């Protein structure tokens, strides 16, 4: 299996790359702006119903953050239970709202939000025979397809996979990802965007990590073109 080095992480060789998805493969800011316009339009059409749904979506996101450091569980079910309790929405209705506004509707905005340099970066890893995977808090398949990059990812995992059932910064997802990609955890490079979640998970697992986009934490790169400039094939 081929490998790569990164100037910012001297002394290490990485033989597989695992990617976060949300905020990493695409820039979250233009996505949020597009979704906000869509939400406001829906709010004007159906103000009472949409206010209830907005409260429910906020409760769902807060439930996810609260679960980050808790024991492994059925994350989707527990997140829905907590959010339904907090928002006074029935779980079945909440699940439909989440699937529509956090699952399906954002997909159409993903292509224009894709990080600069992502496709050349993935193509270069493929040329070097470095296997790639994706691991994120939410299901990744439809997002990878919308970004037109699914073909590059041999492994596609989310936190509710029955082998994982825990959220970053807990390291289980990275450990499973490394095993699926066929490399020791110390030879896995994880690419994310949040230091307190992605870099912390990589550190706990023993993997390498670099960050993409604006924010805290090092090493951090503006985009995938800047990261590609630091890669050296092994």
Q: State the pLDDT confidence band at 69, using cuts at 50, 70 and 90.
A: confident
Radius of gyration (Cα) for the chain, nearest Å? 18
Cβ burial of 100 (10 Å; 0-12, 13-18, 19+) is middle
Contact present, 136 and 22 (Cβ < 8 Å): yes
Which domains, ranges and CATH numbers included, belong to the chain?
4-26+114-233 (3.40.50.1000), 30-109 (no CATH)
In this predicted structure, what is the pLDDT of residue 33?
A: 87
Peptide bond into 219 cis (omega under 30): yes
Q: State the pLDDT confidence band at 156, using cuts at 50, 70 and 90.
A: very high
Q: What is the DSSP string of 101-131?
A: IIIIGGGGGHHHHBPTTHHHHHHHHHHTT--
The average confidence (pLDDT) of the chain is 92
In this predicted structure, what is the pLDDT of residue 53?
A: 85
Task: Tell me what the mean pLDDT of segment 42-46 comes to.
Answer: 79
In this predicted structure, what is the pLDDT of residue 12?
A: 94
Is the pLDDT reported for residue 151 higher than 90?
yes
In this predicted structure, what is the pLDDT of residue 19?
A: 99
Contact present, 175 and 205 (Cβ < 8 Å): yes
Highest mean pLDDT among 31-45, 54-68, 200-214: 200-214
- Please state, in angstroms and as integers, the Cα–Cα distance from residue 200 to each residue in 59, 70, 183, 192, following that order: 25, 15, 20, 10
Q: What is the pLDDT of residues 70-116, one digit of tens each?
A: 877 888 889 889 999 898 888 998 899 889 888 888 999 999 999 99
Contacts of 85 (CB under 8 A, 6+ apart): none
In this predicted structure, what is the pLDDT of residue 74?
A: 86
**pTM score above 0.85:** yes
In this predicted structure, what is the pLDDT of residue 162?
A: 92
In this predicted structure, what is the pLDDT of residue 50?
A: 80
- Percent of the chain residues past pLDDT 90, beyond the cut: 64
In this predicted structure, what is the pLDDT of residue 1?
A: 65
Is the pLDDT reported for residue 32 higher than 70?
yes
Least confident of 29-38, 181-190, 193-202: 29-38
């Amino acid at each position: 299996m081929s490998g790569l080095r990164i100037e910012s992480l001297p002394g290490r060789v990485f033989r597989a790359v695992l990617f976060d998805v949300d905020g990493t493969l695409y820039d979250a800011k233009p996505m949020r702006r597009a979704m906000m316009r869509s939400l406001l339009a829906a709010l004007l059409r159906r103000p009472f119903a949409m206010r209830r749904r907005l409260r429910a979506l906020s409760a769902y996101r807060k439930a996810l953050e609260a679960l980050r450091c808790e024991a492994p569980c059925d994350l989707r079910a527990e997140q829905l239970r907590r959010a339904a309790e907090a928002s006074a929405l029935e779980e079945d209705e909440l699940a439909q709202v989440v699937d529509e506004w956090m699952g399906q509707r954002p997909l159409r905005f993903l292509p224009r939000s894709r990080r600069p340099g992502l496709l050349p970066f993935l193509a270069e890893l493929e040329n070097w025979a470095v296997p790639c995977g994706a691991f994120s808090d939410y299901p990744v398949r439809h997002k990878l397809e919308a970004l037109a990059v699914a073909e590059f990812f041999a492994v596609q995992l989310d936190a509710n996979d029955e082998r994982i059932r825990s959220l970053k910064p807990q390291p289980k997802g990275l450990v499973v990802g490394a095993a699926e990609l066929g490399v020791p955890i110390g030879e896995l490079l994880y690419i994310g965007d949040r230091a307190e979640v992605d870099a912390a998970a990589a550190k706990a697992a023993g993997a390498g990590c670099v960050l993409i986009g604006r924010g805290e934490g090092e090493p951090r790169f503006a985009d995938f073109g800047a990261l590609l400039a630091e890669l050296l094939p092994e």
